[in-house]
Amino acid sequence: MSGYLIALHLIGVLCLLPWILQAPSKYTDWLEESGIGKTWWAFYSAQTMVNNLGFTLTPDSMATFRDATWPMLVMTFLAFAGNTCYPVFLRLVIWIAYRLASETSQAKEALRYLLEHPRRCYTLLFPSRPTWILFGI
């Protein structure tokens, strides 16, 4: 689980930091007026979205960024991946690892067990059908 969350935070920073460093002055000037560094904004925004805290560093929440498509898409993905879709993405990661594992490895056997008996191992790991239903919602 910690690897998943660390990866989400890194994805968020790697998507938001280059954008804000090259963003139109409308956004960077607002951060400067608010006394917020660009790098700090990217790190904090990624962290708060993954953890679904709802906090922002800017006094107007994210209203200034409402027409900035890229950060809104990234932040929406991070909010879903860090909360509602966590079981979906967790099962996807396990399934991909299962498919990539060699037939003779012990990891493949452990991953198969996770896929066949998910609730015995982790309460947020659902069987296949409920995972698909959650994905559909």
Dump pLDDT digits (tens) for 19-55: 999 999 999 999 999 999 999 999 999 999 998 887 8
Domain ranges of the chain: 2-82, 86-136
Does the structure show a pLDDT above 80 at 85? yes
Confidence of residue 62 (pLDDT cuts 50, 70, 90): confident
Average pLDDT over residues 125-135: 88
In angstroms, rounded to a whole number, what is the distance separating the alpha carbons of residues 24 and 129? Answer: 44
The pLDDT score that the predictor gives to residue 114 is 92
* Distance, first Cα to last Cα, the chain: 23
Does the structure show a pLDDT above 80 at 92? yes
